[in-house]
Amino acid sequence: MPGESLVSILWKFACANAMPGDVLLRAMCPDVDPREGVVPLRNAFDLNQLRLLLRLPRNLLRTSLLEMMPREQYYAAFRYCRQCAAHGYHSVLHQLSDEDYCAAHPQRLRTLCPQCRRESPFIINSSVIEAPFRCVWCRSHFCYGLLPVRSTTPAMRRQERRAIQDRVLLRLGSETRGVPNG
C-alpha cells in the first residue's frame, strides 16, 4: 500500500513469520535495546539492511519512514484512522502534525485508545511489534472489531487506495517513485 508506515509493515512481517518483537528488532537494529526501541525516522535505520531483511524495495522502505524533521512536525503518539486499522494499514501521513484527517476516509485521526483512553507511542520496540494494530497498554484493537491480518485480498477499495496514493505523492513527491500503488 502506498505510504504504509514501517510500523504497519513490521506488524505484518512479524505476524506472517511468527517472529517475536525482540528478535525482529535485534535483526533490524542490533545496537538498540528492543524494550526501548527506536523512533521510525530514516536516519535510524540502514535501508540496505532493512531491504535485505524484509525483501522490500528500497523506495518503499524510504517512504515508510519519516524524514528527519523537527519534533513538532510529527506526533510522538501513534495516530490512526480506525477504518485504515481495520484494513491492516497505517500511513506515515497519519503521523504528520499538519494531517488531521485520513486521506482515504472522511474521519479525524485519533491518538487515544478507544478502550483505555491512553496513547501508544509511535516507536518501534518489542511491545509495539507484538501488539499489531492494538493499544500497547490494554491490547484493545484500534479498529472496529478484529483485524483481518491473514487475508490475502486487498481490504481497501480502489478509490481509498488511490486517495492515499495521491496524498502520498503530494506530500512525499519524488521519494515515492517506484512504489507500487496497491
What pLDDT digit, counting tens, does each position of 65-88 carry?
Answer: 988 776 678 999 999 999 999 888
Give 74's strand partners: 96
Instruction: Tell me what pLDDT residue 13 has.
Output: 94
Instruction: Tell me what pLDDT residue 161 has.
Output: 85
Task: Please give the model's pTM, rounded to 2 decimal places.
Answer: 0.84
pLDDT tens, residue by residue, 83-123:
999 888 999 999 999 999 999 998 999 999 999 999 999 99
pLDDT tens, residue by residue, 142-182:
987 655 555 444 568 888 889 888 988 888 764 444 444 44
Instruction: Tell which residue, 20, 167, 25, has the closest CA to residue 84.
Output: 167
Instruction: Tell me what pLDDT residue 182 has.
Output: 45
Q: In this structure, what C-alpha cell is assigned to residue 95?
A: 503521523
Are the C-beta atoms of residues 64 and 5 closer than 8 Å to each other?
A: yes
pLDDT at residue 54 is higher than 80? yes
* 50/153: higher pLDDT: 50
Cα 72 from Cα 144, distance rounded (Å): 30
Query: What is the chain's length?
Result: 182
Instruction: Tell me what pLDDT residue 156 has.
Output: 81
**Measured at the alpha carbon of residue 57, what is the angle toward residues 53 and 66, in degrees to the nearest 5?**
90
Are the C-beta atoms of residues 6 and 28 closer than 8 Å to each other?
A: no
pLDDT at residue 61 is higher than 80? yes
Cα 35 from Cα 54, distance rounded (Å): 21
Instruction: Tell me what pLDDT residue 67 has.
Output: 85
Which of 14-28, 36-50, 67-81, 89-103 comes out lowest in average pLDDT? Answer: 67-81
